[in-house]
Amino acid sequence: MARKRRGARPALSEVWRSYGLSITLAMLFVVSLALQTWTGWNDFVAEQRAIGQSATAFGDGGYVWRWGESVFENWQSEFLQVFVFIVLTTFLVHRRSHESPDTDYDVEASLRRIEAKVDALERSAVR
Distance CA 37, CA 55 (A): 14
Average pLDDT for residues 14-39, to the nearest whole number? 87
DSSP code of residue 34 = H
Distance in angstroms (rounded) separating the CA atoms of residues 66 and 71 = 9
Q: Which residue has the higher pLDDT, 124 or 9?
A: 124
Provide the sign of the torsion angle of the four alpha carbons 107, 108, 109, 115, taken in this order: positive
**Are residues 71 and 36 in contact, defined by beta-carbon separation less than 8 angstroms?**
yes
User: What percentage of the chain exceeds 90 in pLDDT?
Assistant: 10
Q: What is the pLDDT of residue 96?
A: 54
Q: Check whether 123 has a pLDDT greater than 80.
A: yes
Mean pLDDT (the chain, rounded): 79
**Cβ-proximal residues to 96 (8 Å cutoff; 6+ apart), any chain:** 103, 105
pTM of the model: 0.50
**How much is the pLDDT for 31?**
94
CA 108 to chain centre: 29
- For 15, 16, 90, 108, 117, the CA distances from 21, given in Å and listed in that order, are 11, 8, 17, 30, 43
Helices (H), the chain: 12-50, 63-74, 80-94, 105-126
Q: At 66, is the pLDDT very low, low, confident or very high (cuts 50, 70, 90)? A: confident
Mean pLDDT computed over 88-115: 70
pLDDT at 102 over 70: no
